[in-house]
A and B are shown apart, each in its own frame.
Chain A
Amino acid sequence: MINLTIDNQQVQVEEGASVLEAARELGIDIPSLCYLKDLNAPASCRVCIVQVEGRPTMDASCVLPVEEGMVVYTNTPGVLAARKQIIELLLSDHPFECLTCERNLNCELQRLAKRYGIRDLHIEGERNHFLVDDLSPSVVREPDKCIRCRRCAAVCESFISANVYRMVDRSFQSIVAPAYNGSLMESSCILCGQCITVCPTGALREKDSTARVWEALANPDLHVVVQTAPSIRSTISEEFGYPVGTPVEGQMVAALRRLGFDRVFDDCFGADICVMEEATEFIERLKNGGPFPQFTSCCPSWVLFCEKFYPQMVNNLSEVKSPQQIFGALAKTYYAQLAGIDPAKIFVVSIMPCVSKKYELLRPEMKASGFQDVDAELSTREFVQMLHQAGLDIKKLPEEEFDSPMGSASGAGIIFGSIGGVLEAALRTAYEWLSGEQLKRIEFDEVRSQEFKEAVIHAGEHELRVAVARGTGAAKMLLDQVLEGKKEYHLVEVMACPGGCVGGGGQPIYTETNDWNEQINHRVKRAQGIYELDRNKECRKSHENPVIVKLYEEYLGRPGGPRAHKLFHTRHVSRKLYAEKPLLVQKK
């Protein structure tokens, strides 16, 4: 243990801790912008500078290791003045667009300016002007608002392994950007949006779809159907003052009705079908001897990652579409027929924790119904924005039920929202089909824990080796081991984002901590609500969901059968890492 003095107070911390962490022990919050503990510590923003006795200059406390007997001052007039000046310098190259910025009131730079009482810029000068990159259907990059903290680069490198962002150019005009400051669409980006969730300012945001949805809702000719992703029912709550992870399914349904959606359906219904199809495909592969491992394909960023970084492995991806696309295809065929509505007049909106889904719905193969299966996607943040615009407070709304038939889901469909959930849901079904026995214990705890990497499940005569990759970075390591022949698996779930969909790139941005692990913990906490909903469900296995059983009996035939195949299956393509042409040509 190391003893040191900070602002005249004694503190004892472990060796290797930084001065910033030691100060926190004393309740002193040294401000920071670039720092995200255990993810990003370039010491580049300089906001966390402190004065150490005996040192000629100030030091960035985020990377300054504690030393025995060190005497630190965090708020002398000199330190405060320098800190203020640094914030002023940052502001002198920052557009003053706070009122019209997406991150207004949730911006770390803005909060810092308020905290330090910046009233006037003592020094101003030329500002950088970069082009806004809005070529991607998912992520908009506005480099003028970038403060060069490199958090996006760090999360993209360490967690996602897509390595999109780097410092480009040098000195004043240096910028964190894709290679050559090009568009994300020409880069190795997999559109997961994790960069958005760690950006302290509004330099990164999702592409707005709210206008399009408002328009559709107002159009009397359109029958607007909404599907809600599993995770959002427990993540919108934190935006309305609930504790993190509080499930608010009923209020959410009520809110959607009040927004004017003609039918409020559940994407978990699509997830249940996804389980049926994927489990069937898995059993087929077991019969045919592969190819293994079978990768889940619900996460479009993971699919894109595989297509770009491991094009030789695309045949290992499950050919079943994601729940969003399954739902869309079904809405414009089965539901249209059932309700007697012209599918051309049906407008399918999905509310997802994701920005990648905006890209997925535009993929050319996603037209199984003869129309674009899903018309628009709203991220959780956009959904919350619409609720605010409409003056709807979740807390004040009654609980309502989803519409039928596509609103009835099993618990298996709901846990899709958490990492490991897809695998667990698939196992609940595959186990019973393979072994012919009832599951004694529904919850596969072995695939839930945060430390979980791989497990062996005995299902009848089969010994199933399964794994979950938490983030595409983990997937990369797993894939490399598989390719080297060091590991063999039957079924692997991959989610691009930390914690799975509850930590998705479209979820509420949590800026209360500069500790990456705490950020992940926050995201994991959101999953509690999902598991709670699963526990309270009577039906917790997709293949026992009576609506699903009926759907197959009356409309689809058998799982993996011709109709199911036409609607729910797709082929994945090998792509170049750096697209010569943007992946999609965006429709205006």
Chain B
Amino acid sequence: MNKIMEDLDVTVAKIKPEERHILLCGGVPCLSVGCQKVKEAISRELSEHNLAEKVQVLEAGCIGNCKLGPTVIVYPEGIIYRRISEENAREIIEEHIIGGKLLEHLLHKDEKTEQAQHRREDMPFYSKQKRLVLRNCGVISTDIDSYMSNQGYAALAKALTELKPENVIEEVIRSGLRGRGGGGFPTGRKWQAAKDAEGSKKYIICNGDEGDPGAFMDRSIMEGDPHSVLEGLILAGYAVGAEQGFIYVRAEYPLAVRRLEAAIAEARKACFLGKNILKKGFNFDVEIRVGAGAFVCGEETALISSVEGTRGDPNPRPPFPVHKGVWGYPTVINNVETLANIPPIVLNGGDWFNAIGTENSKGTKVFALAGKVRHAGLIEVSMGTTLREVIFDIAGGVPNDKEFKAAQTGGPSGGCLSAEHLDLPLDYESLRAVGSIIGSGGLIVMDEDTCMVDVARYFSGFNREESCGKCTSCRIGTKRMLEVLEKITSGNGDEEDLEKLESLAKLIISSSLCGLGRSAPNPVLSTLKHFREEYMAHIKEKRCPAGVCPELTRHFILEDKCRSCGLCTKVCAEGAIIKEGKNYRINPDKCVDCTRCVQECPFKAIKGRKRKELARA
């Protein structure tokens, strides 16, 4: 195997870690706050100081700690500078690179201890993670040389030289890897089924149609380490006996598409793709299919329709895709993260992977942390890590001294967990047991200012919108469910509505055609289960405890009119007006309806309603 790698004549490792170079986070969050300009400024400064030859500037994938972007890492020390702007470029070059001095003010400081954190190891955000899938994300550049310098394509070389396809499947079965797209079906068994299925051709599809609001795990992997996905896909093709693979990516991920395209071209050039791969007689090629952004296309059968070029509508199963998939041929569909797990499994063996995680959920899971946490971003932890460790240890807890209220996992198909679930281990079974799912890894943290009925309404609205409209239960059912929720959040709900919601939810789950419908009621059911008292407050007291639902909030600030002058906070005797970022909000539990703020607001941005009127409405 090593010989094969040597024979390949690929210039291994442009950069050795011990050499001086600068790595920039090139994930979309950092791009959106201007990392390209920082990169240009640093390159410019380097040229001006005649260092352009000596110090390379590389762009990596998402390093994860998105709230600190744009992030710059200076090697070989591995010093992380956060929130860098163009103006900082000069001092980084002159003082750090040339002068060898640490720029204290650009380091991240712990919120509580005020201690400066120099490297990844100093940051709890990184030190408590276990990064297998994200092993290269934010560590190396996205090109093939960097990937290969970090054991890239070694697994493929090993498989083609030492393993038969069935051995690869054995390893994957032994690893206990389960699908990371949400279903959690054992990957090895899926491959075995497709291998055993009869068909003159077979296909492998990488499902990169990540559609959950707030989720960006797959995008970050495709952008940050495209070759690992590609290698996993090629290995899957080898194991199953497919010669053609597709990567299905949504059109909303142009950077992922670009980097995957570049990776495919590089891999083809390096003989990892195409005819007679590594001269071992295995043919495999990959095509990218760009989806139009319909959430339902993440569902296997809808994805197949879309790959075939028709409307992305789901179809009944059975027949399952492993028996009859794209154009009727056996097809394996694996999620991006699942495939990125394959190369290390093949390289290190199934047993190695099997030792990580819990009894039934092996390995790690990448989560996209969003919402009310200090360090929103991309993390990877061992299966079985508790919610508390993720939210409080890694993500630094809830900011602004607010109370943790709920965590939403699994996106629109998942559910909401309450504070009582904080010590729940994050794995497939534990989450299912409390009415949620691990899903693809979206994790939205909510604090006391979040209305759970509104959350249910939001996700139901999303599901209603994204229902393809094919089956009755989902098409009309999700619409009716949303209508009931809207009735409640607008203050017109009655207790019967909760029964209606539950009965509708049950129907939609039990009788919908595809996974979208069968999981669409989860946000409603889980909030009904864990936050029923909030529903009751909306219905009986006509009150939104979190002060979110405008019709149920006695006094509220119109966001579009508010100019954030802050006058209202000064005149409020009860301290009921809170600043949230740029916006202000009235806490209805403190507000006594004195209308002082209404009178003082120069922009007429505060509106009030009498509770009686509300009761009548």
List residues of chain A with CB under 8 Å of any chain B CB.
42-47, 49, 57-58, 60, 63-65, 78, 82, 85-86, 89-90, 92-93, 122-123, 125-126, 147-148, 166-167, 169-174
Contacts and interface: CB of A to CB of B under 8 A. Distances in A.
A148 B473 contact: no
B328 to A, nearest CB: 15
B469 A169 contact: yes
Contacts of A78: 510
Contacts of B467: 170-172
A171 B480 CA distance: 12
A60 B316 contact: yes
Contacts of B313: 167
B270 interface: no
11 contacts: A43-B471, A58-B510, A85-B504, A86-B473, A89-B477, A92-B476, A123-B504, A170-B294, A171-B469, A171-B479, A172-B464
B466 interface: yes
A63 B471 contact: no
A57 B469 contact: no
Contact of B480 (A60, A89, A148): A89
Contact of A93 (B465, B473, B476, B478): B476
A56 to B, nearest CB: 8
B13 interface: no
Contact of B475 (A47, A49, A122, A148): A148
Given A92-B480, A172-B469, A174-B468, A167 B510 contact: no
Centre residue among A49, A57, A123 by max chain B CB count within 10 A: A123
Contacts of A166: 311
Given A82-B507, A86-B511, A171-B478, A148 B464 contact: no
Given A82-B507, A82-B511, A46 B472 contact: yes
Given A46-B473, A171-B467, A125 B511 contact: no
Contacts of A43: 315-316, 471, 513
A73 to B, nearest CB: 13
Contacts of B511: 46, 49, 57-58, 82, 86
Given A57-B509, A170-B294, A125 B472 contact: no
B525 to A, nearest CB: 14
B512 interface: yes
Contact of A46 (B296, B318, B466, B471): B471
Contacts of A171: 464-469, 475, 478-479
A47 B471 CA distance: 10
Contacts, number: 106
B55 to A, nearest CB: 51
Interface of B: 294, 296, 311, 313, 315-316, 318, 464-473, 475-480, 483-484, 500, 503-504, 507, 509-513, 518
A125 B460 CA distance: 15
Contacts of A89: 472-473, 476-477, 480, 507
Given A122-B500, A171-B468, A174-B469, 16 more contacts: A44-B470, A49-B511, A57-B511, A57-B512, A82-B510, A86-B511, A89-B472, A89-B473, A123-B484, A125-B480, A126-B483, A167-B313, A170-B296, A171-B465, A171-B466, A172-B478
A44 B472 contact: yes
Contacts of B294: 170
Nearest to A89: B476
A46 B478 contact: no
Contacts of B483: 125-126
B307 to A, nearest CB: 18
Contacts of B479: 125-126, 171-172
B469 A170 contact: yes
B503 A85 contact: yes
Contact of B507 (A60, A86, A147, A174): A86
B470 A42 contact: yes
B468 A170 contact: yes
A173 B479 CA distance: 10
Contacts of B464: 171-172
A41 to B, nearest CB: 8
A104 to B, nearest CB: 22
Top 6 nearest A-B pairs by Cβ distance? A174-B469, A172-B479, A89-B476, A43-B316, A125-B483, A171-B467
B317 to A, nearest CB: 9
B500 A44 contact: no
Contacts of B311: 166-167
B500 to A, nearest CB: 6
Nearest to A59: B316
Contact of A123 (B316, B471, B478, B500): B500
A73 B510 CA distance: 14
B318 to A, nearest CB: 6
B494 to A, nearest CB: 14
Given A123-B500, A170-B294, A90 B476 contact: yes
A288 B265 CA distance: 60
A63 B503 CA distance: 25
B480 A123 contact: yes
Contacts of B478: 171-172
Contact of A172 (B315, B476, B507, B518): B476
